[in-house]
Structure 1
Amino acid sequence: MSLNKYLDVAPEVAQAIADHKPVVALESTIISHGMPYPQNVETALKVESIIRENGAVPATIAILGGRLKAGLSPEEIEYLGKKGHDVAKASRRDIAVLAARGADGATTVTTTMMIAHMAGIQVFATGGIGGVHRGAETTMDISADLEELAQTPVMVVCAGAKSILDLGLTLEYLETHGVPVIGYGTKELPAFYTRKSGFAVDYEIDTPADLAAAFHASLEMGLRGGMLVTNPIPEEYSMDPDVINKAIDEAVAQAEAQGIHGKETTPFLLAKVKDLTGGDSLDSNIQLVFNNARLAARTAAELVKL
């Protein structure tokens, strides 16, 4: 028995895969948990159009009515956006129960990678990955995204790890699991809202063609796991590191005081940071997602040539 029994690939996406055309996967947690309505729906549809403008077919991924979906209609995106936090945030551990119940789930980086791989999609654009949370040496709070990167052969294009995390420990964890961390045009890990973190990436690569060549070599060698491409937020949308770091420190302190933990941590911190920055962090978040979608589409277009 295969997970594919539960998988629905949208006709346009299935046709593109069959014709060896570029496809880019997109997650749905950003729609239901990452932004308020209607900005979430507007952003999701705009990301899909950016991917089309750059020569690829978008495949937004979610779980709807217990079905694993690779490719959503505008109506399905609207549905997820309106339901918001009423939709379960679905990681690897949640898939079986949601499928059995015929329930809905917004896919995280982990589940988007899983479903993309099942459908035959090799490139995925997101905002930022999860990682090792601050204080993880006592809480053991480490995102399942890192484990998925270690075992599922999908290229993930992001703006680095969310700066609410412990970036140094996140890089250490990825290194232990053999996941290459690539800086697109940078030797330094971007920190989501800002272009710099003070931590070095494994390799700097400067063109979509070279990104595609590196990932193609990994696939040809049969290496287990994915490849993480970190793409710095465009300079004009980058936030002042002092402002964002002060907001993050305050948000982390509030989360601890309120006993927030587990899968609630990231949505709580991102919402709190948005409030503390007067909405500037949300504007930056949207722009970095657009930037990652462009790079992912161009890389997917190069990958299908190999």
Structure 2
Amino acid sequence: MIDISVSKEVQSALQGAKAVVALESTIISHGLPFPQNLETAIALEEIIREAGATPATIAIINGQIKVGLCEADLSILSDPKQAVEKVSRRDLARVIQNRGHGATTVAATMIVTEKTGIKVFATGGIGGVHRGGNSTFDISADLQELARTNVCTVCAGPKAILDLPLTMEYLETLGVPVLGFKTDELPAFWSPYSGIHGIMPCATAAEIAAFLNIKWSFPLAGGVLVANPVPVADAIPQADMQGWIDEALAYIKDNNVSGKDITPFMLDHIRTAS
């Protein structure tokens, strides 16, 4: 059995049956430049504490899975000079074996979240079916993990760089419930609108909690995706976003960017362009 190091803060909250929210760490190592990545990681944890819950950022440090990170851990993940791998399900064993540093994706974070006994995980956006995925089969492991892991993942929708209709079709095939917090339209990460309706609207957090309780008491194994749209005032106009996505896709095609390098590249391009 692989040992998971749980911080005293997180351990105390779990033992006291208090609210704990898991956080992924690829946003720190691969999602934002320094020092914004470190500042964002700290700010996210503080927002959770201010709401009355305990944050549990997850990563691998020197081959050790850690749930709840200290300042030194966050510094390692945010330092561009450190060799920090982007870790999904397939990479976990290798990074642990090599005693390396790893930033957990949505999929890997869900795995550790479930094994730790945490039920809720928050992230910006999930992976999904990439554009052209019907021929390339470039599909994020996040979707399979949502189908098999008993965790509620709260996000602002799939990343807008993806093929959102195909992503929703794939989630439906896998039997993953998609709930919309105060919406019946799938949000598109940077925008509350995608034009895709049919997700299950929930008016309150209590309604979502009741749904989770029924599902897992049944029991129906597998996760639940809760889509919480970005506020309209903070959204990026869809026309602007589509232009930046098209630019990034053209570069990717011309320069043979592939695999797990695609999403970090596209996010960095959009960050720079916007």
Q: Output the TM-score relative to the length of structure 1.
A: 0.88
Q: What is the aligned-residue identity percentage?
A: 49
Query: What is the aligned partner in structure 2 of residue 296 from structure 1?
Result: none
Aligned-pair Cα RMSD in Å: 1.1
The partner residue of 1:144 within 141, 145, 157 is 141
Query: What is the aligned partner in structure 1 of residue 11 from structure 2?
Result: 14
SS in 1 for 2:248: helix
Q: Does 1:31 align with 2:28?
A: yes
Instruction: Give the paired residue count.
Output: 274
Instruction: Answer whether contact 1:187 1:201 (CA < 8 A) is retained.
Output: yes
Query: What is the aligned partner in structure 2 of residue 86 from structure 1?
Result: 83
Instruction: Answer whether contact 1:32 1:84 (CA < 8 A) is retained.
Output: no
Query: What is the aligned partner in structure 2 of residue 263 from structure 1?
Result: 260
Instruction: Answer whether contact 1:154 1:226 (CA < 8 A) is retained.
Output: yes
The separation in 2 between residues aligned to 1:83 and 1:72, in whole angstroms, is 18
Aligned pairs (5 A) from 1:96-175:
96-175=93-172
The separation in 2 between residues aligned to 1:187 and 1:129, in whole angstroms, is 18
Q: Which has the higher contact order (CA 8 A, sep 6+)?
A: 1
Gap runs ≥5 in structure 1 = 278-306
Taking a change above 3 Å as real, the CA distance of residues 222 and 172 of structure 1, as seen in their structure-2 partners, is same
Aligned pairs (5 A) from 1:204-283:
204-277=201-274
Q: By how many angstroms is 1:85 displaced?
A: 7.2
Q: Which aligned segments of 4 or more residues in structure 1 are displaced greater than 3 angstroms?
A: none
User: Which amino acid in structure 1 is aligned with residue 177 of structure 2?
Assistant: P
Gap runs ≥5 in structure 2 = none
Q: By how many angstroms is 1:84 displaced?
A: 6.6
The separation in 2 between residues aligned to 1:19 and 1:6, in whole angstroms, is 22
Instruction: Answer whether contact 2:76 2:82 (CA < 8 A) is retained.
Output: no
Instruction: Answer whether contact 1:183 1:201 (CA < 8 A) is retained.
Output: no
Instruction: Answer whether contact 1:58 1:71 (CA < 8 A) is retained.
Output: yes
Larger % of helix: which? 1
The separation in 2 between residues aligned to 1:129 and 1:20, in whole angstroms, is 27
Instruction: Answer whether contact 1:8 1:67 (CA < 8 A) is retained.
Output: yes
